[in-house]
Each structure stands twice: as structure tokens, then as C-alpha cells.
Amino acid sequence: MTKAYHIPVLLNPCINYLDIKPNGIYVDLTFGGGGHSKEILKHLSKEGKLFSFDQDEDAKANIPDDNKLTFIPHNFRYISNYLKLYGVSQVDGILGDLGVSSHQFDKGERGFSIRFDADLDMRMNQKSVLTAHKVLNTYDVKQLTQVFREYGEVDNAFKLAHVIVDNRLNGSIESTTQFNDVILKCTPKFEANKYLAKVYQAIRIEVNQEMESLKECLSQCYHLLKPNAPLVIMSYHSLEDRLVKNLIRSGNCEGIEEKDLVFGTVKKYFKAITNKPIVPSGEEIEENSRARSAKLRVAIKL
């Protein structure tokens, strides 16, 4: 993995909390540049196994030559199906770094970044049919408002949606630069980058169905983990973090607590190891600015 592709965030805490057994079976939900996976492999013996997921075709370039690693080129929402395919019913630990890789932001033609003029794409899986272009040129005002409000927490989501739909009367929106110009009247003058980051985040989450995928994946983790095995998840915005917190607290992403029918006590599925999220140090943020919003939560299966 080259530094340019992606710098692994909170690498040492992630590895420490995984508490890797040399002959254990582990899952990296988000291979990306392979930084976390490669570190896990260092702690495994020849009997150990690591299954790493990534739906991005570009991630394949970072796969190390290591027989202990099985790379699965699919979305982590299918974690149970693919582990079953390899004869695995339970694992000794699950790691997930939910952030978009630096490579995806820096490769301008992917359309993830506000810094480049590019086609409106934003697909992590290049085989997917839903693109940012389709979202911005076919969704109606109600749909766009919901996307910007729910996934970007954009204050003027309704106005933004109206501006986009009204502008489409003059022709489709084709590029990131054109889109930025179209929504200029909605963009706060002195907070343009912050505002556009929220808008782009919302579109990206919709294009890649990120929240649905994460819910499906997290809902499978309890059954996949062995007793006392760790779940180590790093999120980068409040929507993801809320799902992780809910899962740890109540065993489901909705945060609905279940009570024992006999004793009336609340059922516990996980024990939180980190009551407050672990965040990067100032030194790490200085070295890698994209780490600044990372929040690491760890729990073990009861």
C-alpha cells in the first residue's frame, strides 16, 4: 500500500483492541488500501485467517501476497453469505473502518471530491447503476430534500432541492463544477467548503446505499462473533456512529432495548469496552487531516 492510497486511521488502537489470536479468524469489513489488514496479518500464524471485504475495484491493487488473506470483492452487507461460502460460521474479531479512502477522494474522476471537475459519479462499486448524475437529474424535490436532510443534515435542504430541480429545466447537470455553480445561491459565503462537504456526503451515501448496507452488516455481527470476541468499528459521521452505538447498547441498529420475559431485565448482547469513542491525537490529525472526524468504538460479544 502506498501512502497516497490511504493512511490507516487509529491503527494501533484498532489492532490492540482486536486482541489478535495467532490462529484466529478475523474480518476486515473495509480493506481499502490494506493498511489495517496488513497489520492484522502480521499477528497471525500460518493457521490464522483474515477475510477482507471491499467492493471498490481499485482496492484489488493493494492485495498482499499472503495465503492467510482471502479478499472478497463485495459489499460487507453480504458478510454472512460469503463467510458461509468459505465454511466459516463464527470469527474471533471484526474490524470496520467506515471512512471513504483517501484514494477515492484524490482520484478526481471518481467525483467524490469538491476539489476536482469530474463527472457526477461517486460510486464505490463501479458496476452499480445508481450514480450521482442519476440522483441529481432524476430525483424529485421530495426525494432530494430527504437525501440532503437525512444524510447530510443540510439546513436548507428543501431550498437546495428546489434549486436543483428548477435548474434541470435548462438541461441536465453533468459535472461537479457545474453542480457547484448551480447551488451557489444556496451555499453560505464563508462556509462553502463545510456546506459542500455535507451536500456531497449526502449524495455519496445515497448513491452507495451506505446506511442500508451498514445496518445489514451490523445486524449480522453478533451472530458471527464468538463469545467475548471484539467488534471494532470506526465511523466518521454521526449517522454511522449512532447505528454503532445503538448496536452496542441494545443489540440492534434501531436502539430498541429488549427485556427478558421472565425477569424483566434488559437483554445485553455486547459489553462496551470504550464508553466514550476513541479519537485520533492531535499529532495523527496533523499527519492525516482526514482522521479528524474518526470515532472508534469497541465492544465484546456477551
pLDDT surpassing 90 at residue 217: yes
Does residue 142 sit in the same domain as residue 181?
yes
pLDDT band of residue 112 (cuts 50, 70, 90) is: low
The pLDDT assigned to 3 comes to: 43
**pLDDT recorded at residue 260:** 82
Residues 195 and 276 in one domain: no
- Please say which residue of 208, 229, 263 terminates a domain: 208
Strands 230-235 and 93-97 come out as parallel
Q: Which pLDDT does position 141 carry in this prediction?
A: 98
Q: Measured between alpha carbons, how far is 19 from 302 in angstroms, rounded to an integer? A: 16
Residue 110 has pLDDT above 80, yes or no: no
Q: Is the pLDDT of residue 106 over 60?
A: no
Asked if residue 107 has pLDDT above 70, the reply is no
Mean pLDDT of the chain: 93
Please say which residue of 167, 183, 208 terminates a domain: 208
The answer to whether the CB of 233 falls within 8 A of the CB of 96 is yes
Any domain includes 109: no
pLDDT single digits (tens) 12-69: 999 999 999 999 999 999 999 999 999 999 999 999 999 999 999 989 999 999 999 9
Does residue 158 lie in a domain region? yes
| CATH code for position 162 | 1.10.150.170
As for how many domains the chain has, the answer is 2
Query: What per-residue confidence (pLDDT) applies to 1?
Result: 38
d(CA 151, CA 199): 8
Mean local confidence (pLDDT), 114-141: 92
Q: Which domain holds residue 167?
A: 131-208
Q: At which of 173, 208, 243 does a domain end?
A: 208
Averaged pLDDT, 265-271: 94
